[in-house]
Structure 1
């Protein structure tokens, strides 16, 4: 059976796997952005805590994904929760680090001008610092999203949802009928999702960044 025939005959299953992959990625990124940006906002003015947070989130990336998924089987079992925790953990570093770097990179003269206009610390953060740091923060979110989409595929190892099931099923029966088609569909599907997410985040960046900053 050709690849096109396989896709046609299994369109519903492939579509469902793709939707589950998207949903898992979106949920993981929402949680990672909330946690990562919060860590960055709380520590960017304090060098030691900021370094500690960055080092801690960086250390998570040294853990092989299959190993972490296996470790999580004990406390949370198999399935979506296992994969979701792993994805959030892996996504934290780029978001946290870019939040710290972006906020620290705001021109002090602009901050002083804001203070001169009577802006308090909180309003200064939300109306001056964060808007100017947003392009840097968003670039971290984009990197984390790409990582999350790829690592989510490995989640099929612990019965997680998504296109990784196509890949793992195909590899598990490699040489049998349609096994290669399954691997190709899962792989190409993940590439397409990654490109779509990156395009969407690029559009978000254009809509949420002022023309002056983009220029």
Structure 2
């Protein structure tokens, strides 16, 4: 009877697979960064378009909320059928999931600007675009950034499911480990993938915290 291979210790497994871990971690970071860049641009623009109208804001937030309730596997499955395997369906799914926190916080932040401040800006002759760029957005930015941070944490976690459609990321370790439960190193694969996702999430959040310290005016910093 064949003897099953012995599992390595976690440190030994990490050492033996350092190149693969690094490659998949870089892929995970890259797809999160790309998706968040697109989602931030799209979410802030949607918020800017909708925040002055209660009806428009309600529609945009409702649609984004419905998207967020869709099961990840279901949405990826639909995108897989339409677009095939790879990065494209993953990025589209991640952008869609990231929209709600960014759109909602953009609308909330812009609506929270004190009307007295806006009246003062009008009084000194600022045009609407100047008021938006120089007054409203800087005041709303801490709230918008909080939405971006929330969306980033969400996206880092959902990216782990990208292995389902052959996308990049540490989810491949998790997926491989779950498919081989009971086999040698299955637990190590799950632990490496899970711990790596947590580390990436913490790094992104720390970087965004630094962005906040560098970009939020001291006068409005919480």
TM-score normalized with structure 2 length: 0.96
The question of 1:186 aligning with 2:193 is answered yes
Residue deviations 1:118-150 (CA, integer Å, cap 9, x gap): 100000000000000000000000000000000
- Unpaired stretches in structure 1, ≥5 consecutive residues: none
Q: Report how many residues are paired.
A: 215
Residue deviations 1:168-209 (CA, integer Å, cap 9, x gap): 011111111111100000000000000110010001001000
- Taking the TM superposition and a 5 Å limit, the aligned residue runs for 1:57-206 are 57-206=64-213
TM-score normalized with structure 1 length: 0.99
CA distance in 2, matches of 1:61, 1:211: 34
CA distance in 2, matches of 1:75, 1:149: 23
CA distance in 2, matches of 1:23, 1:161: 9
Would you identify which runs of 4 or more consecutive aligned residues in structure 1 move more than 6 Å?
Answer: none
The question of 1:10 aligning with 2:17 is answered yes
- Unpaired stretches in structure 2, ≥5 consecutive residues: 1-7
Selected match of 1:48 from 26, 40, 55: 55
CA distance in 2, matches of 1:38, 1:80: 24
Q: Provide the aligned C-alpha RMSD in A.
A: 0.6
Offset of residue 73 of structure 1: 1.3
Secondary structure at the residue paired with 2:219?
A: helix
CA distance in 2, matches of 1:211, 1:88: 31
Offset of residue 70 of structure 1: 0.4
Offset of residue 75 of structure 1: 1.3
CA distance in 2, matches of 1:79, 1:175: 29
Q: Which has the larger radius of gyration?
A: 2
